[in-house]
């Protein structure tokens, strides 16, 4: 008869385990409601051992946030193939997958949590926004975006954040409707910007020319025609 022996984890492996455990707990409750004792218990180790790998809850929170930020930024990566509207819709579905899976943590981060306001946290949030911006501009096929296009893209990213937060507060609108609405919002913002700027107008004419009538952008046009009739 043999006795099972618990395998000893290396330093990096244990750190990654603790980050994963913290993210799992933060996905169910706001990070400021989760104690080090809970994280230690869920990881199957003692509280002092948690402090051996992380000097405090803030450092563990920031490490977990870094992993989450990398994950969220990756949701905006999409092959540059097919109509832009369909690409954006796939991005929005993955974005809301993340929001759905990490609701309390996402909400705490954007509305104010234990690490919000620190230089590390702010840098991570900005890195996600910048990654999203870079991806959208690349999909538009623009190397040096005009100022109005930059304004539209960054405004739309902020709109996606605020929409996700409002959705988490009761989920009163079906998620799928918001995903397509945000794609429509991008098209609407882009059209308004293009009407004010000839350089941006040329970019958007090129983009819309490749859009099929049955795609998200074509769907928006059909809805607007119905609304005006």
Residue 27 has pLDDT above 80, yes or no: yes
The larger pLDDT score, comparing residue 116 to residue 131, is at 131
CA distance 45 to 49: 7
| φ, ψ at 79 (rounded to 5°) | -55, 140
Cα–Cα distance measured from residue 27 to residue 107, given in angstroms and rounded to the nearest whole number: 10
pLDDT of the residue at 115: 53
Q: For the chain, what percent of residues have pLDDT higher than 90?
A: 64
Name the band, by pLDDT with cuts 50, 70 and 90, for residue 109. confident
Residues of the chain with pLDDT > 70, as a percent, come to 93
Residue 116 has pLDDT above 70, yes or no: no
- Look at 9 and 144; give whichever has higher pLDDT: 144
pTM recorded for the entire structure: 0.87
Average pLDDT in the 179-203 region?
95
Are the C-beta atoms of 215 and 86 separated by less than 8 Å? yes
Helices H / strands E in the chain, number of each: 11, 0
């Amino acid at each position: 008869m043999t006795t099972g022996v618990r395998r000893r984890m290396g330093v990096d492996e244990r750190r990654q385990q603790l980050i994963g455990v913290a993210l799992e707990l933060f996905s169910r409750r706001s990070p400021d409601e989760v104690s080090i004792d809970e994280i230690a218990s869920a990881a199957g180790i003692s509280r002092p051992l948690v402090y051996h790998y992380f000097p405090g809850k803030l450092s563990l929170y920031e490490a977990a946030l870094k992993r989450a930020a990398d994950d969220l930024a990756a949701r905006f990566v999409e092959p540059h193939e097919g109509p832009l509207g369909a690409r954006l819709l796939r991005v929005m579905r993955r974005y809301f997958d993340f929001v759905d899976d990490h609701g309390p943590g996402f909400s705490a981060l954007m509305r104010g949590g234990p690490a919000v306001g620190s230089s590390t946290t702010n840098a991570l949030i900005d890195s996600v926004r910048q990654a999203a911006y870079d991806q959208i501009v690349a999909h538009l096929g623009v190397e040096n975006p005009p100022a109005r296009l930059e304004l539209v893209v960054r405004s739309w990213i902020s709109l996606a954040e605020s929409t996700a937060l409002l959705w988490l507060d009761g989920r009163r609108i079906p998620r799928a409707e918001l995903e397509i609405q945000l794609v429509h919002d991008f098209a609407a913002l882009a059209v308004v910007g293009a009407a004010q700027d000839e350089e941006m107008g040329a970019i958007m004419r090129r983009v819309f020319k490749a859009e099929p009538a049955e795609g998200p952008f074509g769907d928006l046009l059909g809805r607007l025609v119905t609304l005006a009739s």
